[in-house]
C-alpha cells in the first residue's frame, strides 16, 4: 500500500493556467523517519485507504488544514518565509507543521 503513495501513477500534466489547484482536492503524503520514529502526514482521503487499526492517529480526531505558501515555487533566494508564517501562529499558540518540497511549501495549521 505504501509503495502506491511513494510512487503514485502519473497524472496528466495540468494546463498552463491551472496552477491554482483547489487545496481540498490535493493528494498529500509525507513520510519521515527520525531516530527510529515514523511520522506520516496525509490528506483525509488517503488516510481512509489504510486499514483502520494500522495507524495511530489523533485521539481527538482533529485535522490539520494545509495552506500552500506562494503561488509558485519560491526558490532558494527567498528568506524569512517560515518565520513570517510561524511567528504569528506561535504568538496565537497555534501549532504549525511546515513542509518544503521542490515545487512548493506548505504550512499545516
pLDDT tens over the chain, length 109 residues: 566 666 666 654 444 444 445 555 667 788 888 898 888 888 878 888 888 788 777 666 667 788 888 766 666 666 777 888 889 999 999 888 888 777 778 888 8
Q: What angle do CA 11, 14, 18 make, to 5 degrees?
A: 145
Q: Are residues 72 and 41 in the same domain?
A: no
User: Is 43 part of any domain?
Assistant: yes
Q: Are residues 42 and 93 in the same domain?
A: no
Q: Are residues 2 and 49 in the same domain?
A: yes
Q: Are residues 38 and 90 in the same domain?
A: no
Q: How many helices (H) and strands (E) does the chain have?
A: 3, 5
Query: For residue 42, what are the domain limits?
Result: 1-8+26-60
The whole-number pLDDT of residue 104 equals 77
CA–CA distance, 70 with 29 (Å, rounded to integer): 20
Give me the count of residues in the chain: 109
User: Is 39 part of any domain?
Assistant: yes
Q: Are residues 83 and 100 in the same domain?
A: yes
- Cell 491551472, residue? 18
DSSP 3-state of 98: strand
Q: What is the pTM of this model?
A: 0.56
Q: Are residues 51 and 76 in the same domain?
A: no
Domain count of the fold of the chain = 2
Amino acid at each position: 500500500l505504501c509503495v502506491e503513495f511513494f510512487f503514485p501513477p502519473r497524472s496528466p500534466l495540468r494546463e498552463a493556467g491551472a496552477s491554482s489547484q483547489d487545496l481540498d482536492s490535493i493528494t498529500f503524503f509525507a513520510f519521515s523517519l527520525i531516530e527510529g520514529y515514523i511520522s506520516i502526514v496525509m490528506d483525509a482521503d488517503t488516510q481512509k485507504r489504510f486499514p483502520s487499526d494500522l495507524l495511530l492517529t489523533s485521539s481527538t480526531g482533529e485535522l490539520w488544514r494545509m495552506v500552500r505558501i506562494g503561488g509558485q515555487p519560491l526558490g532558494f533566494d527567498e528568506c524569512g518565509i517560515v518565520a513570517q508564517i510561524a511567528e504569528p501562529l506561535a504568538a496565537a499558540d497555534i501549532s504549525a507543521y511546515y513542509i518544503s518540497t521542490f515545487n512548493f511549501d506548505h504550512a499545516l495549521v
